[in-house]
Each structure stands twice: as C-alpha cells, then as structure tokens.
Amino acid sequence: MDTDTVMNVHIGSSGRLAITAPDAPMDVMITLQPMNIVQAAADLLWSKPIKKYPDLKIALSEGGTGWIPYFLERADRTYEMHSTWTGQDFGGRSPSEVFREHFLTCFISDHVGVALRNEIGIDNICWEADYPHSDSMWPGAPEQLHEVLDQATTCPTIEVNKMTYRERDALVLTSTRSRHIPSEQATVGALRKAAEGHDVSIQALTSTSKAAPRFADFAANAKELTGNTD
C-alpha cells in the first residue's frame, strides 16, 4: 500500500489447480486454468482488506476476462439476496462496483471478453503476453492481438489504448512499465526495430511422445524434478 504496488494474483492462487481425475488428459487442466482464478477473485472480493484499504489494487494475472460478467452478476445477486444474514456490507455499493474499483483483469487471447468489455469495465481490462509460456502469442503477438480486437465489434482506438498501454495508469497508479518504456518506444514498429538482429523464430526444444500426457504423469515428473515427496 505504501508504495502503490499492484498485487498480482496468479492462476495458482486459488489454492490448487482444478484436476478432475488423475488419468484426465492434460487438456482438461489447461482448459480450466484461466477460470480457476475465479476462486481467488471471490475470496478477495468478499474479504475484509477490500473494505479496509480503498486504494488496494489487484491484478488477476492469466485469468482471462470472458467469465467476469457472470461472476459480477452472481456477486451482486448474492449480495442482494443474502447480505442480511451473511453480514456483508459494502457501504451502499454493489460488489460489482467494488470489483471495478480494485481489480485489473488480464487476458491473452479472449474474443468473448473483448466483446463484453463494456460489461466488464473497459478500465479494468489489460492485455498480457504470457511469454514464454505455450499460451503466449509470441512472437506474433501484435498481429494476433489485432485479430482479437478487430473481430470484437472493432474496438475504438481509445479502448485499444486502454487495454494495451496508454491510460492504463488510471487504475494501476504507478506503472513500472511506463517508467522504463515510454509509450513511443512501446509501439509495434519500435519494438520490432529493437528486436532486429535477434532470432525470434519458433523452435521446438522438446520432443513429443505418441502417448497423450496425463496429469498424473505431469505431477510425477514435477515431484521428481523438485525433489518433493509429498
């Protein structure tokens, strides 16, 4: 709070990844990963610190945005129907209003979320690259992001700027990015120019087996690498 630092909450912050069964294919876990952060979002929205610290800012990293309109609708409905006996009090405001005051939501490629941007709150949406993870758009992020924004009822330039670089500090307050990379150096052309001479081609660094990976195999490999015996 003293340094205006935004608290970044990762998808694993909901306690654990959503695993349906040990023999489920990895695709199940990967599909559920962005929506897994809804548990942390609910925990934080209904928590005491949100009410105690009006300047607290939280970024839901890698969580996507398409699920947020229903989440806010459900939170408001919960408050309306149950607050008298649960004891919740947002001081005359709705949970959705409080959410928009405190939370920054982040997406990588989310056509639905961009299409519903005004129901989420255009000032509460931020694009993220997710490099170097396999969900990332890198190295074709500008072109792929343009497709997402262009297909979502053609976003006005001012809204594109809000979700990418300019005017983001209205919610985030102090932005490390804007202190180190001026906006004129963060354009696609400027960044492409800065990358000249560097190999940004996509290369496979691992081989794939014919058998589809299961979560149980993934967990066993992770334990072996980390030495975790739990």
Whole-number pLDDT of residue 223: 57
Domain membership of residue 23 (yes or no) is yes
Domain membership of residue 212 (yes or no) is no
Burial of 104 (0-12, 13-18, 19+ CB in 10 A): buried
Whole-number pLDDT of residue 82: 96
Domain membership of residue 101 (yes or no) is yes
- pLDDT band at 74, cuts 50/70/90? very high
Helices (H), the chain: 26-36, 38-45, 48-52, 68-86, 95-102, 111-115, 117-120, 141-151, 157-164, 169-172, 176-180, 188-194, 215-226
CATH number (domain holding residue 101): 3.20.20.140
How many structural domains does the chain have? 1
How far is 222 from 47, CA to CA, in rounded Å?
33
Whole-number pLDDT of residue 175: 43
The DSSP bridge partners found for residue 7 are: 58
Closest by CA to 139, choosing from 78, 59, 92, 194, is 194
DSSP-based three-state secondary structure for 98: helix
Average pLDDT, the chain: 80
Whole-number pLDDT of residue 211: 62
Full residue range of the structural domain in which residue 179 is found: 7-203
- pLDDT band at 170, cuts 50/70/90? very low
Range 16-38 average pLDDT: 81
| pTM of the predicted protein model | 0.77
- pLDDT band at 176, cuts 50/70/90? very low
The residue behind tokens 């660094």 is 205
Domain membership of residue 214 (yes or no) is no
Closest by CA to 14, choosing from 76, 56, 80, 67, is 67
Question: Is the model's pLDDT at 110 over the cut of 80?
Answer: yes
Better pLDDT: 1 or 106: 106
Better pLDDT: 91 or 140: 91
Closest by CA to 172, choosing from 42, 40, 4, is 4
Domain membership of residue 179 (yes or no) is yes
Range 71-85 average pLDDT: 96
Residues 36-57 pLDDT 10s: 888 889 999 999 999 999 889 9
Whole-number pLDDT of residue 25: 86
Domain membership of residue 230 (yes or no) is no
How far is 173 from 168, CA to CA, in rounded Å?
8
Domain membership of residue 60 (yes or no) is yes
Domain membership of residue 69 (yes or no) is yes
